[in-house]
Structure formats: structure tokens, C-alpha cells
Amino acid sequence: MSFSLVGTAWNLAGFESYLVNKNLGWADSVTLHHTGSPDLSNRREGLILQHIRNIQFYYEKRKGWSRGPHLFVDDVDVNGMSPLTERGIHAVSFNSHSIGVEVLGNYDEEDPKSGRGLKCWIMAAKTTAILLKRMGLEANEKTILFHRDDPKTRKSCPGDKVEKAWVISLVRAAMADEPAPVEIEEREENERMKAIEWQMKAILKENADLSEERWEELEERLMNIDWQVRKILKGEAWI
């Protein structure tokens, strides 16, 4: 039963509801890891059930483990592996008292502060916030551990590019229901696009008396500008 959560996935609201009647009293912290391999480029659509089963097979058949980390988080879902009500296997010194959460990506190489990397870490921070709230704990250096904090490992996990203070700040923001950086960025992008669309509509209205041929030409030019602006706001190249 120690891989009994394999096949279970939640959105954040569903995960919070799932924990309502779960006793997490055995744990006093959350330990964060990165998957390393697979990384973001290997899992462009995130983690699916077969991916989790493959990881289970590796732990169970190749490493001989009777259980694994508790959760695997990507940029969309929280995926279960081992029961949250009992110890897992993920960091030698922390197994007995800490919930193990794996974050999709290789953050020795990939950027945790932009793109999908940031979205994965926002999900991880919100997942950690839900766990700490359920345990009645605050977010700090003692309740949020990194695998590399374990004195019995030489690993950089969850990646050299991930800073503990930054992650704690993300978790604290999530616990306070404050918007995450990626959400602020998306909101600002939407506001910029609305302003641009309003200006384009104003231009079309001002030129309503143009001939049909000139009108179609103007409309086509504005649509091209709109497309180029959207590319720029998404950080893509100007084409």
C-alpha cells in the first residue's frame, strides 16, 4: 500500500479538500526535490499516469524501495505516489519526519524563475502551503527543507538555481493568498493587450469612411501588429 496514491492526481483545490481528514501529525516539514531526469524538455505536456508508474517501477524494482516520495508536482497538477499519512523514502535524514515533494524539472540546468520552470515552482509552493496549513505550521527554514540540506547527501537537489529564501517567499505568499509572480505577470500582460486592442478599435472607428479596399488593407495591417505584439509579450522572437 505504500505506493497507493499512484494513479491519483489533483488540482490545488482538490488536493486541499483531500487533506481535510488526513492526519499529518507524524510530519513537521516538507522536503523539496527536483526530478532531474525527466526534465521539462522531456515532459513537455507535464506528468501523466504512465510517467508516475514508470517512476514507481524504478523505485520498487530497480532500487528495492517499499515506498517513494509522497508527491510529484508539475506545472498543472499534484500527482500522488506514497500515502501522506506515513513516512516515505526521499531523503535519508528527513524520511522519518518530512513529506517529500518532487518538482518536475532539472534546476541545475533549467530556469526556475521563468516559463514552465516558474509555473512548476509556483505549483510546488502552493502545494507546500496547503500541506503546512494542514499541519498548522509556518513557512520557514525548519519547515521547508531542501534535499541538499540532508548532511548525508552530496546532491544539489532541488537544483543549484533554486534559492531557499526565494522558495520560502513563494510559500508565504501562497499561505497569505497573495498572487504569485507568474499570475501578476499574466494579469499585467492581459491589461496591456486590452489597452492595445482598445487603441486598434479606436483607429478602425476613426477610419470608418475609408474605401472597402483601403479598409481591408488597414484591418490587415492592424491584425499583423496585434500578432507581433502578442509574440513580443510572450517573449518570442519578432518574425
pLDDT tens for each residue of 105-159 = 999 999 999 889 999 999 999 999 999 999 999 999 999 999 999 999 999 999 9
Determine the pLDDT at residue 178. Answer: 81
**Quick check: is 238 in a domain?**
no
Q: Do 204 and 138 sit in the same domain of this protein?
A: no
In the predicted model, is pLDDT for residue 19 greater than 70?
A: yes
| 39, 66, 80, 87, 171 from 61: Cα distances, Å | 22, 9, 19, 19, 34
* 220 — pLDDT class (breaks 50, 70, 90): confident
Kind and range of the H or E element at 105?
A: none
Q: Do 173 and 191 sit in the same domain of this protein?
A: no
Boundary-marking domain end, from 178, 196, 211: 178
- For the ranges 44-48, 65-69, 196-200, 222-226, the maximum mean pLDDT occurs at 65-69
- The residue segments making up the domain with residue 224 are 183-233
In the predicted model, is pLDDT for residue 182 greater than 60?
A: no
How far, in Å, CA of 189 to CA of 201, rounded?
Answer: 18
**Quick check: is 172 in a domain?**
yes
Query: Region 44-62: what's the mean pLDDT?
Result: 95
Number of domains in the chain: 2
**Quick check: is 133 in a domain?**
yes
Greater confidence (18 vs 227) lies with 18
Q: Specify the CATH number for the domain of residue 142.
A: 3.40.80.10
How far, in Å, CA of 8 to CA of 4, rounded?
Answer: 9
